[in-house]
Amino acid sequence: MGQPQRSDGTEDAKPPLRVGMVGYAFMGAAHSQGWRTVGRVFDLPRRPVLAVLCGRDRTAVREAADRHGWAEAETDWRALIARDDIDLVDICTPGDSHAEIALAALAAGKHVLCEKPLANSVEEAAAMADAAEVAYQQGQLAMVGFNYRRVPAAALARRMVAEGRIGTLRHARVTYLQDWLVDPEFPLTWRLRREHAGSGSLGDLGAHIVDLAQHLAGEPLTGVSALTETFVRERPLPAGPAAGTGQVTVDDAALFTGRFASGAVASFEATRYATGRKNALRIELNGDRGSLALDLERLNELSYYDGTEPGTHAGFRRILVTEPDHPYLDAWWPPGHGLGYEHTFVHQARDLVHAIAAGRVPEPSFADGLQVQRVLAAVEESAEKNSVYTPIAI
Last residue in a domain, options 147, 181, 215: 147
CATH of the domain at 248: 3.30.360.10
Cα(336)–Cα(321) distance, integer angstroms: 8
Round to whole Å and give the CA distance between 33 and 75: 21
Number of helices (H) and strands (E) in the chain: give both, helices first: 11, 17
Q: Are 100 and 78 part of one and the same domain?
A: yes
| Same-domain check for residues 55 and 33 | yes
Are 130 and 99 contained in the same domain? yes
Whole-angstrom distance, CA of residue 372 vs CA of residue 87? 27
- Whether the link from the prior residue into 364 is cis, omega within 30° of 0, is yes
| Three-state secondary structure call for residue 219 | coil
The answer to whether position 345 is within a domain reads no
Position 8 in a domain: no
Q: pLDDT for 59-88, tens place per residue?
A: 999 999 999 999 999 999 999 999 999 999
Residues 179 and 61 in one domain: no
Would you say 213 and 172 are in contact if contact means Cβ atoms under 8 Å apart?
Answer: yes
Q: Does residue 225 share a domain with residue 301?
A: yes
Asked if residues 199 and 166 have their Cβ atoms less than 8 Å apart, the reply is no
Domain that holds residue 91: 16-147
pLDDT digits (tens, 9 = 90+) for 168-215: 999 999 999 999 999 999 999 999 999 999 999 999 999 999 999 999
pLDDT digits (tens, 9 = 90+) for 300-357: 999 999 999 998 999 999 999 999 999 999 999 999 999 999 999 999 999 999 999 9
How many domains does the structure of the chain reveal?
Answer: 2
Q: Which of 122, 147, 172 is the last residue of a domain?
A: 147
DSSP bridge partners of 287: 169
Q: Which pLDDT value is given to residue 133? A: 98
Residue 203 lies in a domain: yes
Do the domain assignments include residue 228?
A: yes
Q: Do the domain assignments include residue 56?
A: yes
Peptide bond into 117 cis (omega under 30): yes
Nearest-angstrom CA–CA distance, 118 and 368 = 9
Each residue of 249-302: pLDDT tens digit?
999 999 999 999 999 999 999 999 999 999 999 999 999 999 999 999 999 999
Strand ordering across the sheet containing 47-54:
72-74, 47-54, 16-22, 88-91, 111-115, 142-145
Residues 127, 224 within the same domain:
no
Q: What is the DSSP letter of 199?
A: S
SS3 at position 240: coil
Q: Phi, psi at residue 376, to the nearest 5°?
A: -60, -40
Query: pTM of the prediction?
Result: 0.93
pLDDT at residue 375 greater than cutoff 80: yes
Examine the domain organization and report whether 278 and 218 are in the same domain.
Answer: yes
Cα–Cα distance list, 316 to 163, 265, 289, 301, 311 (Å): 18, 22, 13, 12, 12
Mark whether 334 and 210 lie in a shared domain.
Answer: yes
Judgement on whether residues 184 and 247 belong to the same structural domain of the protein: yes
Instruction: Evaluate whether residue 166 is within a structural domain.
Output: yes
Residues 158 and 182 placed together within one structural domain of the fold = yes
The type of residue at 117 is P
Residue finishing a domain among 147, 179, 207: 147
Residue 351 lies inside a defined structural domain of this protein: no
- Among 300, 297, 354, residue whose Cα is nearest residue 329: 300
- In this structure, what CATH number is given to the domain that contains residue 142? 3.40.50.720
- Same structural domain for residues 62 and 141? yes
Residues of the chain by 3-state class (helix, strand, coil), percent to 5: 35, 25, 40
Q: Give yes or no: residues 304 and 268 share one domain.
A: yes
